[in-house]
Amino acid sequence: MVNFRKISEAIQFATDKMKKNGLFETERFFCDLYCFEPDQSQAAHTHEGSDKIYYVVQGRGSFQIGNEERDLGEGEIALASSGQKHGVTNHGPGRLVLLVFMAPKPSH
């Protein structure tokens, strides 16, 4: 089992859409690194029975949680609880890197 990772070595972007890079996965949760080029998004969606956290590692993004929309930069963090709609957009001009934590792992 790998117990230690370096974020800088896990960062990968994709040209067609935002890229999810797995850091850790257990029976109980996953921890990913989401990488957005400018104008890439994660469309707003909902998970029933799972909670998710977004932490901004690099850049700036627009976060929708429930009915609220907020711009967050490095060192800011957002919670989307079970049933709360959530999505992210990188309006640019820089890249956006998020640490994402979700428990329990969704079944879809």
Chain residues binding a copy of itself by CB under 8 A are 1-8, 23-24, 26-29, 31, 50-51, 53, 55, 57, 63, 65-66, 68, 70, 72, 75-82, 84, 99, 101, 103-104
Nearer to a copy of itself, 44 or 53 (CB): 53
Task: Name which of 15 and 28 has its Cβ closer to a copy of itself.
Answer: 28
Dump the DSSP string for 16-43. SS-EEEEEEE-SS-EEEEEEE-TT-EEE
Q: How far is the CB of 84 from a copy of itself (least distance, A)?
A: 8
- Tokens representing 79 are 């919670």
For residue 105, give the DSSP letter: P
Shorter beta-carbon distance to a copy of itself: residue 38 or 83: 83
DSSP state of 106: P
Q: To the nearest whole angstrom, how small is the minimum distance from the Cβ of residue 35 to a copy of itself? A: 14
Q: Provide, rounded to whole angstroms, the least separation between the CB of residue 5 and a copy of itself.
A: 5
| Structure tokens that stand for 51 in this block | 């909670």
Q: Which two tokens stand for residue 65?
A: 């949680």
Q: To which residue do tokens 């996953």 refer?
A: 30
Q: Is 96 helix (H, G, I), strand (E, B) or coil?
A: strand
